[in-house]
Homo-oligomer: A and B are copies of this chain.
Amino acid sequence: MTRILIADDHDVVRSGLHTILSAQPGWEVVAEAEDGRQAVQLATDTQPTVAILDYRLPSLNGVDATREIRAIAPQTEVLIFTMHESEPLLRELLEAGARGYLLKSDARKFLIAAVESLALHKPFFTGKISETLLSAYLSHGHVSDGALTTRERSVVQLIAEGHSNKEVAQMLGINPKTVESHRATAMRKVDVTSTASLVRYAIRNGLIEP
């Protein structure tokens, strides 16, 4: 019996997944969560075979939820279900322990195959970026650092949220000049020349909410 947990904040999506998955012989949806915390809680309680998590979840996002579920229920495989393909996101997810990545637009074609694969503890990924990144991960045990370092990401995040260099410096407890430095290298790395473009980058890659 393949036991499945569904976590998505939109009940319409949950209904859709539920009907599609329940139609498969031997598959059972054992829990539905509408936010991250609930997903972790239900995963603990039900110990499902596969947990399907939307990346955008209230209270606890997909990455953090993945990390917690992997810690609490190690035999549960996590399938991330998301709108857009983002490389930094995928990287984080791999580190967090997700073993599947399914684009919402690929759902019809690959949903069954993805869950099937995860149930056998084999990874499953869709999308252009996925193949290269996944093979790199499987051969090295980790993926090379993304465009931005941790510090750079924090800075970009706070900047994109509307804070000035000075404010960011205070929040992080460092010198404004250092913030400038991180900001500058980050901007060079992602190849933009204005704050506006940097904000768009941050939003596209899920560093902040629009």
A residues bordering B, Cβ < 8 Å? 9-20, 84, 104-105, 107-108, 111, 159-164, 192-200, 203-204, 208, 210
Question: Contacts of A13 on B, CB cut-off 8 Å?
Answer: 10, 12-13, 16
Looking at chain A's contact residues, the main secondary structure is helix
Q: How many copies does the complex hold?
A: 2
Query: A12-B17, A16-B12, A210-B203 are contacts. A162–B107 as well, Cβ < 8 Å?
Result: no
Q: Which of B107, B162, B164, B200 contacts A192 (CB 8 A)?
A: B162
Instruction: Tell me whether A196 and B9 are in contact (CB under 8 A).
Output: no
15 A-B pairs with CB atoms under 8 Å apart are: A9-B105, A10-B105, A12-B107, A15-B15, A15-B17, A16-B16, A16-B17, A16-B18, A160-B200, A162-B200, A163-B194, A195-B196, A200-B203, A204-B210, A210-B210
Instruction: Tell me whether A159 and B12 are in contact (CB under 8 A).
Output: no
Q: For the complex, what is the distance from the CA of A105 to the CA of B12, rounded to whole Å?
A: 9
Q: For the complex, what is the distance from the CA of A126 to the CA of B13, rounded to whole Å?
A: 19
Question: Contacts of A159 on B, CB cut-off 8 Å?
Answer: 196
Q: Which of B17, B18, B108, B161 contacts A196 (CB 8 A)?
A: B161
Question: Contacts of A204 on B, CB cut-off 8 Å?
Answer: 210
Chain B, residue nearest A81 (CB): B12
Chain B, residue nearest A15 (CB): B16
Interface centre among A12, A104, A196 (most CB of B within 10 A): A12
Question: Contacts of A195 on B, CB cut-off 8 Å?
Answer: 194-196, 199
Q: For the complex, what is the distance from the CA of A197 to the CA of B209, rounded to whole Å?
A: 11
> Assuming A159-B196, A162-B200, what are 7 further A-B pairs, CB within 8 angstroms?
A12-B104, A14-B16, A162-B192, A162-B196, A162-B197, A200-B203, A210-B210
Chain B, residue nearest A109 (CB): B11
Question: Contacts of A17 on B, CB cut-off 8 Å?
Answer: 12, 15-16
